């Protein structure tokens, strides 16, 4: 599969770090960002690369050549085949695709050269091929969803709505952010109905014709069933500002960038919801009753920063009892993610059990009145998360305020935390009275 890397940005926001080289050549721990990207691709078998360049592009071309040479930094072969397309005039962030479309005869990876990433691309591509769409977007939660492009998808991953930064967004939303990595079928270029010869020439408005990837090619596919999102907690971060650049440097130094690749075993902190994240009000049926416990957002932000996955696993029998619909439950979780996002914290995944074994409630949903493997103290939700994200359960924690939380963690093989200030022993590893105190003292 070919990989197209867009490396033509001028990097004006990060010019204080390096203004005499193109942004993709800025070094992270002594190695240019673009070289790290190419190394990640090569190690996974993606060695046929086209790089689009413009601003100071000769520096990139001189450094990498056709990919058969030796790295001046590492002394190792690049080990790839590289072609270039040089934009003499700015074509927008997708205009070059139309200039090289004759080379794009099958599905291809499209990546941004100004993002730091270390992801399992084969896993990403396999998802794309299984779902059979024209486009698969790599999505993830981040610490600033309130000013990021958001993707709304159904349970199968089909993109229903694309919310750009300038679009009005709903009051509550899932923290599902477009990360700028894509698998794209060439047919997308045909569907856009754009004349390649006109790109770069003067348009009717007196300005050169440019093509915007998100707004002209991808956003129109939302709701068509032809575009899917691949949700992953792997490391992808825009280094477009000095602050983000220095943050990435710190993450590289601590091993958090490569460590988040799903080829590697992950560590997770599994969190009960009611009484752990939000104030306990009994069966939470009304979204207005959802309120974060003081200090929880800061605690989850610390979990994010040190490299654990933050995963909610919650029993929600109110669905089986007919008191809350699936849609209402999802909106409650959207509120949780929105509030956390405003505090710079995020959840990597939310799993819930909608079942309840006891019958006899007015309005109950009989199909959900079953004994299941996912209802805590059974470990089903934790085991499913471990399968989805390659989690080492023995190095992970289950945190909750009840016996069923502790037992679910023990049954899954996790270390366990009981949030309580009473002398109760369910076999938990430790007892503390808040998530904040656990985070402050144990991770």
Residue predicted with more confidence, 238 or 182: 182
Average pLDDT over the chain, rounded to an integer: 94
| Cα 203 from Cα 199, distance rounded (Å) | 9
Catalytic residue numbers, as ranges: 272, 274
Stretch 220-246: mean pLDDT: 92
Burial per residue of 401-423, b for 16 or more beta-carbon CB atoms within 10 angstroms, e otherwise: bbbbbbbbbbbbbbbbbbbbeee
Burial degree of 320 (CB within 10 A; 0-12, 13-18, 19+): buried
Instruction: Map residue 27 onto helix, strand or coil.
Output: strand
pTM of the model: 0.93
Write down the H helix ranges in 43-149: 57-64, 95-99, 121-131
Q: What is the pLDDT of residues 293-321, one digit of tens each?
A: 999 999 999 999 999 999 999 999 999 99
Residue predicted with more confidence, 119 or 21: 119
Is residue 115's pLDDT more than 90? no
Q: Are 138 and 236 in contact (CB under 8 A)?
A: yes
* Residue 423, pLDDT score: 86
* Residue 202, pLDDT score: 83
CA atoms within 13 A on the CB side of 68: 2
Which CATH fold would you assign to the domain 265-442? Rossmann fold (3.40.50)
Q: pLDDT tier at 11 (50, 70, 90 boundaries)?
A: low
2: left (phi over 0), alpha (psi -120 to 50) or beta: beta
* Residue 15, pLDDT score: 55
From the CB of residue 288, how many other CB atoms can be counted at a distance below 10 Å?
8
Stretch 72-83: mean pLDDT: 96
Which CATH fold would you assign to the domain 3-246? Spore Coat Polysaccharide Biosynthesis Protein SpsA; Chain A (3.90.550)
DSSP code of residue 25: G
Q: What is the pLDDT of residues 160-183, one digit of tens each?
A: 999 998 899 999 999 999 999 999
| Cα 246 from Cα 195, distance rounded (Å) | 41
Stretch 380-394: mean pLDDT: 98
According to DSSP, the residues that pair with 7 across neighbouring strands are 53
| Cα 125 from Cα 118, distance rounded (Å) | 14
Q: Are 329 and 292 in contact (CB under 8 A)?
A: no
Q: pLDDT tier at 13 (50, 70, 90 boundaries)?
A: low
Is residue 104's pLDDT more than 90? yes
* Residue 17, pLDDT score: 64
Nearest to 107 by CA among 261, 3, 229: 3
Nearest to 386 by CA among 362, 394, 170: 394
Domain extent listing, the chain: 3-246, 265-442
Nearest to 370 by CA among 351, 381, 355, 354: 355
* Residue 201, pLDDT score: 86
CA angle 345–390–153, rounded 5-degree value: 55
From the CB of residue 174, how many other CB atoms can be counted at a distance below 10 Å?
24
Tokens 């590893």, residue?
429
Instruction: Map residue 215 onto helix, strand or coil.
Output: helix
Q: Are 89 and 99 in contact (CB under 8 A)?
A: no
Q: What is the pLDDT of residues 402-414, one digit of tens each?
A: 999 999 999 999 9
Stretch 141-170: mean pLDDT: 94
């Amino acid at each position: 599969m070919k990989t197209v890397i867009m490396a033509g940005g001028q990097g004006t926001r990060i010019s204080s770090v390096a203004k005499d080289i193109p942004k993709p050549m800025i070094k992270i721990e002594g190695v240019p960002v673009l070289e790290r990207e190419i190394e990640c691709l090569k190690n996974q078998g993606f060695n046929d690369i086209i790089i689009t360049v413009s601003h100071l592009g000769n520096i990139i071309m001189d450094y990498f050549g056709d990919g058969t040479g030796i790295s001046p930094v590492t002394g190792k072969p690049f080990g790839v085949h590289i072609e270039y397309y040089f934009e003499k005039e700015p074509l927008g962030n997708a205009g070059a695709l139309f200039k090289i479309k004759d080379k794009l005869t099958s599905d291809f990876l499209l990546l941004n050269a100004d993002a730091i990433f270390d992801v399992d691309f084969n896993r990403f591509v396999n998802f794309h091929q299984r779902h059979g769409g024209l486009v698969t977007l790599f999505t993830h939660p981040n610490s600033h969803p309130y000013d990021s492009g958001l993707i709304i998808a159904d349970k199968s991953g089909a993109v229903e709505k694309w919310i750009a930064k300038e679009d009005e967004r709903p009051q509550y939303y899932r923290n599902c952010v477009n990360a700028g990595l894509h698998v794209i079928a060439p047919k997308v270029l045909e569907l856009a109905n754009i004349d390649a010869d006109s790109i770069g020439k003067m348009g009717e408005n007196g300005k050169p014709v440019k093509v915007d990837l998100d707004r002209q090619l991808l956003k129109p596919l939302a709701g068509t069933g032809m575009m899917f999102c691949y949700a992953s907690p792997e490391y992808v971060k825009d280094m477009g500002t000095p602050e983000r650049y220095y943050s990435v440097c710190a993450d590289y130094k601590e091993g958090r960038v490569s460590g988040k690749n799903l080829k590697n075993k992950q560590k997770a902190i599994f969190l009960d919801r009611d009484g752990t994240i939000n104030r306990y009000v009994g069966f939470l049926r009304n979204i207005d009753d959802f309120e974060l416990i003081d200090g929880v957002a800061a605690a989850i932000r610390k979990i994010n920063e040190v490299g654990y996955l933050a995963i909610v696993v919650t029993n929600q029998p109110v669905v089986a009892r007919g008191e809350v619909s699936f849609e209402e439950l999802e909106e409650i979780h959207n509120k949780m993610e929105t509030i956390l996002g405003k505090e710079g914290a995020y959840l990597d995944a939310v799993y819930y059990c909608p079942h309840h074994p006891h019958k006899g409630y007015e309005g109950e949903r009989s199909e959900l009145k079953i004994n299941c493997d996912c209802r805590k103290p059974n470990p089903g939700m934790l085991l499913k998360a471990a399968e989805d994200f390659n989690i080492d359960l023995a190095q992970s924690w289950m945190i909750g305020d009840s016996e069923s939380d502790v037992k679910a963690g023990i049954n899954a093989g996790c270390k366990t935390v009981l949030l309580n200030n009473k002398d109760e022993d369910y076999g938990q590893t430790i007892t503390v009275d808040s998530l904040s105190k656990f985070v402050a003292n144990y991770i």
